[in-house]
Structure formats: C-alpha cells, structure tokens
Structure 1
C-alpha cells in the first residue's frame, strides 16, 4: 500500500500476519522487527504437537504450558515469565490446561 505524506510518498509494509491452527484453538499474530521474527498468541486448553523449521524460544506471558521436547521423555511445566528453547527441525508436544498467552521468538 502506498501512503502520501504531503509531497513525499512511502511504501507501507505489511506489519502483522494472523495465524490460526488446530481448528482455531491456537491463534497468533506474527511480526518482524529489524529482521527478527516473532509471534504473540493464545492457546486454548488442549493438547498440541508443533513442528519447528528454525530454533524457537517460547515465553509464557500468562497461564502455563506443559511441554515434552522431541528427544526427551520427561514433561516440564513453564509458568508466567518462564521460557524454553526448541531446536530447529524438531517438534514438541504441549499440554495446555487453561488458556495461555505466549511469545514465540524465532532465533535464526
């Protein structure tokens, strides 16, 4: 989209991308800032399996996420303000008991 500012014009980049997964039970808004990509979203209660293309850091904003990384047998629970990293080209399982808000930062 092109916007006009007096005699100058600039191109407005599409800043936000809306994502929806698992029949609408997981929704996020993706954005990029100075080459760094991230999403902020909410997961409804449920069980989910996510695959990763690049390394990710997940931070719980509100609620809790119980996760099992692809190469681990144990489950770990993360609460508000806590983070965990997931390797690229991997997967992780999530158990969400209450609606939970999160930040996902793509580390590549």
Structure 2
C-alpha cells in the first residue's frame, strides 16, 4: 500500500511504502526551513536539489547534494532548509 503524507501546509509531500527492509518515503521539500521529529532511525538520501540540515546535538548546518545522505537517530529532532525544490528518499530503520 502507498501512503500519502503532507506536511507544513503542503510544502513537504511524500509517498510512503514498505519493503522487507522496512518503511521508506520518497518526497519533495519546497524552499523553506522545517523541523522534523523522528520515532525511528532515519537515513535521508538526497536525490535532486540540495539542502542543509541541522542534526541533533550539532551547532553547524551541514550541506547535502544529490548522492549525499545523512542519518538521524530515533526519538530526536532535526531541521532542514533549502532554497530549491529538493527530492529525497528517507529510509526508516
């Protein structure tokens, strides 16, 4: 089954699905700054565009482009910001 997710007044949208390895979402982030919370560990892969992330327990924003990824621990919060529409794959493990 495919699940549709919409956040931040439609500025972040994703389609969720599940495989034998676990849940994943494919999505688009419109320009802006957003804060997310995690229940599970997340592995975020940038597919197109670029974004910056302020990860838990960090004070500096890190920059990510297509082919880059980052991990966020379970039960934490992180921020992302982008100036261009950015596509991502998020794996929940």
TM-score by length of 1: 0.84
Q: Distance in 1 between matches of 2:91 and 2:21?
A: 12
Tell me, which stretches of 5 or more residues in structure 1 are unaligned? 1-14
Identify the residue that residue 84 of structure 2 maps to in structure 1. 98
Q: Distance in 1 between matches of 2:44 and 2:21?
A: 18
Q: Highest CA radius of gyration, 1 or 2?
A: 1
Cα displacement (A) at 1:93: 0.7
Q: How does 1:25-44 map to 2 (within 5 A)?
A: 25-34=11-20, 36-44=22-30
Q: How does 1:4-19 map to 2 (within 5 A)?
A: 15-19=1-5
Confirm or deny: 8 A CA contact 2:56 2:72 kept in the other structure: no
Q: Distance in 1 between matches of 2:91 and 2:44?
A: 6
Cα displacement (A) at 1:103: 0.2
Which of the pair is proportionally richer in strand?
A: 1
The runs of at least 4 aligned residues of structure 1 exceeding 2 Å deviation read none
RMSD: 0.8
Q: Distance in 2 between matches of 1:36 and 1:94?
A: 23
Tell me, which stretches of 5 or more residues in structure 2 are unaligned? none
Identify the residue that residue 73 of structure 2 maps to in structure 1. 87
Cα displacement (A) at 1:35: 5.0
Q: Distance in 2 between matches of 1:49 and 1:42?
A: 15
TM-score by length of 2: 0.97
